[in-house]
């Protein structure tokens, strides 16, 4: 081929490249911050991640198992996640900068996506321990959840309202749900306090292995907490094997939270993904039955993300 032909071929290849080879559209990465794998946050988070990929074009999701509420909120403040689960009382502590709860400064970048289902404080004792009431916990061995997790914050609040401190126990373990259950099965502790959706897998596993007693938290104890995030609740009869009667306890609303660095369109899409795919979330864990659109825009301790606000306005809720 002569020089003129080579030049023509080169020009043609350049033109083809300009027309036919364009840079791939960059994916939008969404990291979903959950909790321990034996709780409700993780399976619901996996389902939510799938819903986001299905709903929001060009997204690639990952699901991160964490120590839950406090860790999730601190990670979101740093931009190390796009959406995360938290308990409402932990979120209030984050906004206030409560150092005792695990927040060294006020977290001012947090933005609310949705109020979702409620957690229930579930205090479960070995049926052979003799524990029937909160007063019976004194002198026993307990696990109160991972250090400064939402569960552990709930434990502190409920035990204080019942007139107990950690010093009143023979032993205090700070372990996630699954590890707490393992200690219960091995008779190394007497009681575990877990804040989770009803029918949490860890307690179902425990109840299938040993006789259990679900310890009631009376309404007056809930009121004594002195925090509006804590409301009277009930664990219905038959929630766990061997639990023949309904048990009163405290309930705390869960939230899905993002931050102000997440684009409005993405926040809108994540909110839409949540409510357009509730069947998939319920299939992942029964606790998700408590997620309802009408409650999604309920007031929280931080502002609604503008993208979420747009979604609720379209639904006539904001």
Per-position DSSP letters for the chain, written without gaps between them: --HHHHHHHHHHHHHHHHHH--PPPPPEEEEEE---TTSSHHHHHHHHHHHHHHHSTTEEEEEE--S-HHHHHHHHHTTS-SEEEEEHHHHHHHHHT-GGGT-SS---SEEEEEEEEEEEEEEEEETTS---SGGGGTTSEEE--STTSHHHHHHHHHHHHTT--GGGSSEEE---HHHHHHHHHTTS-SEEEEEE-TT-HHHHHHHTTS-EEEEP--HHHHHHT--TTEEEEEE-TTSSTT--S-EEEEEEEEEEEEETTS-HHHHHHHHHHHHHTHHHHHHH-GGGGG--HHHHT---SSPBPHHHHHHHHHTT--
Enumerate residues 6+ apart whose C-beta is below 8 A from 23.
Answer: none
Enumerate residues 6+ apart whose C-beta is below 8 A from 250.
Answer: 120, 121, 154, 158, 217, 221, 222, 225, 230, 231, 232, 233
Predicted confidence (pLDDT) per residue in 115-144, tens digit: 999 999 999 999 999 999 999 999 999 999
What kind of architecture, by CATH, is found in domain 119-252? 3-Layer(aba) Sandwich (3.40)
Mean pLDDT for the chain overall: 91
Q: Return d(Cα 73, Cα 254) in angstroms, integer.
A: 13
Q: Return d(Cα 242, Cα 124) in angstroms, integer.
A: 12
- Whether 28-117+254-314 and 119-252 share one fold: the answer is yes
Q: Return d(Cα 59, Cα 263) in angstroms, integer.
A: 13
Q: Which two tokens stand for residue 150?
A: 């939402």
Does residue 261 register a pLDDT over 60?
yes
What kind of architecture, by CATH, is found in domain 28-117+254-314? 3-Layer(aba) Sandwich (3.40)
- Least confident range from 22-26, 153-157, 168-172, 298-302: namely 22-26
Q: Look-up: residue for tokens 């369109």?
A: 265
The predicted model gives 10-26 an average pLDDT of 42
pLDDT at residue 1, rounded to an integer:
52
Q: Angle, to 10 degrees, between the axis of helix 150-161 and the axis of helix 88-96? A: 100
- Indicate the pTM of the whole model: 0.82
Domains of the chain, by residue range, sit at 28-117+254-314, 119-252
Predicted confidence (pLDDT) per residue in 279-307, tens digit: 999 999 999 999 999 999 988 899 999 99
**Direct distance between the N- and C-terminal alpha carbons of the chain, in angstroms, rounded to an integer:** 70
Contact 30, 59 (CB under 8 A): yes
Q: How confident is the model at residue 38 (pLDDT cuts 50, 70, 90)?
A: confident
Q: Return d(Cα 252, Cα 294) in angstroms, integer.
A: 17
């Amino acid at each position: 081929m002569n020089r003129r032909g080579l030049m023509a071929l080169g020009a043609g290849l350049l033109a083809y490249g300009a027309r036919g080879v364009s840079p791939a559209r960059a994916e939008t990465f969404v990291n979903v911050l959950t909790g321990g794998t034996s709780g409700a946050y993780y399976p619901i988070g996996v389902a939510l991640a799938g819903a986001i990929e299905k709903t929001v074009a060009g997204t690639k999701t990952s699901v991160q198992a964490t120590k839950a509420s406090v860790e999730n909120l601190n990670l979101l403040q740093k931009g190390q996640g796009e959406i995360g689960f938290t308990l409402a009382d932990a979120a209030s502590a984050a906004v206030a900068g409560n150092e005792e709860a695990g927040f060294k400064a006020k977290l001012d970048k947090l933005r609310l996506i949705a109020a979702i289902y409620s957690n229930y404080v579930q205090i479960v004792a070995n049926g052979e321990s003799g524990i029937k009431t909160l007063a019976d916990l004194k002198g026993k061995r307990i696990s109160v959840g991972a250090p400064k997790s939402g569960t552990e914050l709930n434990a502190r609040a409920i035990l204080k309202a019942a007139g107990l401190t950690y010093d009143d126990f023979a032993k205090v373990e700070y372990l996630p749900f699954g590890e707490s259950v393992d200690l219960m099965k091995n008779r190394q502790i007497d009681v575990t306090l877990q804040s989770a959706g009803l029918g949490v897998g860890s307690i179902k596993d425990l109840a299938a292995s040993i006789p259990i007693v679900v310890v009631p938290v009376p309404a007056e104890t809930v009121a004594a907490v002195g925090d509006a995030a804590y409301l009277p609740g009930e664990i219905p009869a038959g929630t766990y094997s061997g639990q023949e009667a309904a048990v009163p306890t405290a309930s705390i609303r869960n939230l899905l939270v993002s931050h102000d660095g997440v684009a409005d369109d993405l926040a809108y899409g994540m909110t839409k993904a949540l409510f357009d795919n509730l069947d998939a979330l319920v299939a992942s864990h029964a606790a998700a039955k408590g997620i309802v659109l009408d409650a999604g825009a309920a007031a929280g301790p931080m502002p609604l993300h503008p993208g979420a606000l747009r979604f609720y306005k379209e639904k006539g809720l904001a």
